[in-house]
Structure 1
């Protein structure tokens, strides 16, 4: 029996489970590679959540080595909605991502403000020109090098700003790499972007500031209806500073909202947060 025969008539969730198991991958591993939790993967596979949107389907297909999105969705109209062709600048970007400055004895860091300005220009390129990959490939290697050096050599507020720029540069690199046959580099850029952001957060001297930063990040995820990430960040915010989140109006309102309409995947965590924030009687 072929894979097509075995999957005939099955929904998207069961198809994802089939290819995940064929790849020898656990739910936590797949979830980590696409930026979601194991619980989210289970909810998709068991159809408790709707079929993921196209960008997420593409990420899942890349991770699982599925070349045809129709194999994941069962819908022939989605036959090869993306391309696996490589951009001519891919080798240069790959080298920039996998090389790292070691000897910095005679190196001067680029000021964080200059880095931020160059990152803004890079985003303007990405959003403002037709051949954005070609344009961004010209500036990306230099940006990566300078931001890595500055993140290592600067201190205090300047270092945090350099780490913020570095995280954005990795996000730009991930966009350049998307739809190209290098899933390992896509995962690498995602991991390094999150690592840079974690280092920036850890260097904040105040638990209140760290908690508030996590709450604001949760707000951004909630606007995209990514409830698992929202709750995860709010739990981390509580761990950093219970008082900060208890008196935050957004946190209180979104916890109440998700306790009523968030779904089974996050129910236990939301109810725990609701109790901790003193909202059980609300």
Structure 2
């Protein structure tokens, strides 16, 4: 025991309910919100926290870990250490190379940097490659080190305010691509470093499109960390900034503004605020309707088809299973041109079917997601959790199908 008399949490056995309450209040969640996220009532959460109910079974524990963004199951149980890789994805083999490129300093490098226009063309090619590849992290992970090194050298070697601003805009958008690679890997410190570097470069570039994309990703990072107020602050500040540029900003600025409005709705849905969530979604939908039917923003995926996918996500986060299934039927995945985004939509459709009690259909859709983009399923926490829950199923048919999928995405390795 410490000299001040305070119990050492490593020496004192803390009940599960107390651990749950500490983690919930640390995230600023009400019992109603946490209960909704795991498919239980506020009274159930209270009963667990006060000890009237014991430790839940593994499937519910995994839902709690996901909702509370906990890094290890032992933070809730005090034992049964299960690392984050079980439900957020492993570290990619190319992660060390990307980390090295992020950490490298261009100072003293005598090689001339490519011009920003050349870097933009390479960056556009990288996005096209990502959208068409089933193993998109493999593709992006090979392109990123060179892009990061050249973009940082371009900023360092730029002469004059205008050239430096163009180089910083490119660096910001390379950092955005890097966040897509790093996300859902056990590299949270690296993710935050890249997010903050991307935002700083965007602000210094005075490019509203680059700033909007950086803010869109930063808001997601805050929300995934459980800091919903910070996510809202970033979303609203960036939306106001981009709104001033909408009259002459072109399609891409409008698309990023629409993507930010949906992010506000997504965060509201996580809070359980149905009216606000659907209001923001509708604002984003109207922005998408102002874009050509064939338009697809390469970074945010903002487009008309993706608004249908977003509707499924809102309904799922609001724990409205039948509405989520209804929206799923109105949003076919085949209309989304990006393979990883199409797979992500199928994962959301699977969540909808599970909420509605349609477990066979949920597994079928998860299998289709894996066929479209195996890496998306392998690194997606929702997909991994659904497969783990099905492994506990009493029905042999469900267990066999889930076992086959678990083996393919690396859960059993």
Q: What TM-score comes out, normalization by structure 2 length?
A: 0.38
Distance 1:2 1:233 in 2: 42
Matched, 1:15 2:27: no
Distance 1:169 1:45 in 2: 37
Question: Equivalent residues in 2 for 1:204-219 (5 A)?
Answer: none
Q: What is the root-mean-square deviation of aligned Cα atoms in Å?
A: 4.7
Q: Which runs of 5+ in 1 are unaligned?
A: 21-40, 72-78, 205-209, 241-249, 255-260, 264-282
Distance 1:89 1:231, change over 3 A: closer
Distance 2:216 2:97 in 1: 36
Matched, 1:5 2:17: yes
Residue deviations 1:127-146 (CA, integer Å, cap 9, x gap): 21011111112111110011
Query: 1:29 corresponds to which residue?
Result: none
Distance 1:148 1:184 in 2: 20
Distance 2:141 2:213 in 1: 31
Contact kept? 1:215, 1:237, Cα under 8 Å: yes
Distance 1:116 1:59, change over 3 A: farther
Query: 1:30 corresponds to which residue?
Result: none
- Secondary structure at 2:88 match in 1: coil
Aligned length: 196
Matched, 1:171 2:179: no
Among 131, 143, 146, which residue is 1:142 paired with? 146
Kindly state the Cα deviation for residue 51 of structure 1 after the two structures are TM-superposed: 5.5
Residue deviations 1:255-281 (CA, integer Å, cap 9, x gap): xxxxxx879xxxxxxxxxxxxxxxxxx
Distance 1:116 1:173 in 2: 15
Contact kept? 1:109, 1:149, Cα under 8 Å: yes
Residue deviations 1:86-105 (CA, integer Å, cap 9, x gap): 1111211111111111114x
Contact kept? 1:214, 1:234, Cα under 8 Å: no
Among 188, 192, 200, which residue is 1:195 paired with? 200
Q: What TM-score comes out, normalization by structure 1 length?
A: 0.53
Distance 2:131 2:14 in 1: 43
Q: Which runs of 5+ in 2 are unaligned?
A: 1-12, 39-64, 77-84, 220-230, 245-256, 262-274, 278-413
Contact kept? 2:169, 2:205, Cα under 8 Å: yes
Residue deviations 1:24-50 (CA, integer Å, cap 9, x gap): xxxxxxxxxxxxxxxxx64x4586898
Query: 2:116 corresponds to which residue?
Result: 112
Query: 1:132 corresponds to which residue?
Result: 136
Residue deviations 1:119-163 (CA, integer Å, cap 9, x gap): 111111222101111111211111001101111222343332221
Kindly state the Cα deviation for residue 168 of structure 1 after the two structures are TM-superposed: 1.5
Distance 1:181 1:3, change over 3 A: farther
Question: Equivalent residues in 2 for 1:1-282 (5 A)?
Answer: 1-2=13-14, 4-7=16-19, 15-17=23-25, 20=26, 42=28, 44=29, 61=69, 66-68=71-73, 81-83=87-89, 85-104=90-109, 106-154=110-158, 155-201=160-206, 227-233=232-238
Distance 2:214 2:99 in 1: 29
